[in-house]
Amino acid sequence: MSVFRLLVAICLTAVLSVSLFAAEEAGDAWSGKLQDAALRELAPKAGFIADAETWKMLWTAWRPDEELPAVDFAKELVMVGTVPGPNLVIMRPVVEEGNVKFVVGGTKIGGPGFGYKLVKIAREGIETVNGKPIAAKGVQGKLVIPKTVGSFAGHTLEIKLFEFDPFLADVSAKLVDQFDAKEFGHTAGETTELEFTVGGKLEPRQDRSYYITVFVLKDGQRTHMGELDGKPGLCKVLTEGNPSEVKMIVRAVR
């Protein structure tokens, strides 16, 4: 590298560091590096946070020894960017005609873990982030059938959203929405993915609990089921700090 290019690189790094430091001092941005790469999975797939529950969860996981900064999600959003390895994240959100556009880049240092950056911006006038609506309702999900699952065809996929009162154990849950896919199939050796939404018109009640079920059926009999991140248990959503975005991994019913 020539002396001129080296000086330019040093100057750009200095400017970036100063601007980042200034933003962090103003309380509008936070950045860091973590060695546990598994924590990167907590970053929202949409690239932004629009609710207090998700903000608290992410901050507690990434910066557990620091006080949670106040964010008024009625007026503000938090952009989230990550890069692999112990690297500095470069991310500059720009608002254009109601859409926040940004790409995530970073330095190129090899090693474990990941780097992250959180940027708080004003929410007024913003409808989408990188084309994704911020006011999406209901449960946004991705169904994943791993390549290790055997082939099947002509089945029915049923994804149901239920509501129940957590204080009334003897009262059955109520079905509030359902997503169906007929003639549903999968090919072994390939990964099948399907995005879905349930409860898009629902206004969740904070005194109620919600969960979804995912089943694949053949002639009314369950052949496969979906589990949140591939882990067994009830997939609770929407209220009580539970997510509105889920990844359901399908396995054969034993």
pLDDT tens, 119-157? Answer: 999 988 898 888 887 766 789 899 999 999 999 999 999
Mean pLDDT across 183-189: 96
Provide the total of helices (H) and of strands (E) in the chain, helices listed first: 2, 18
Residue 120, C-beta contacts closer than 8 angstroms, at least 6 positions apart: 27, 28, 29, 69, 71, 76, 77, 78, 79
Sequence-separated (6 or more) residues with CB below 8 Å from residue 15: none
Average pLDDT over residues 20-36: 69
Q: What is the mean pLDDT of residues 144-173?
A: 95
The average confidence (pLDDT) of the chain is: 87
Give the residue range(s) of CATH 2.60.40 domains in the chain.
139-252
Range 71-81 burial, b when 16+ CB lie within 10 A, else e = bebeebbbbbb
Say whether pLDDT at 24 is over 60: no
Q: Is the pLDDT assigned to residue 7 strictly greater than 70?
A: no
Position 27 scores a pLDDT of 57
The pTM score is: 0.53
CATH for the stretch 139-252: 2.60.40
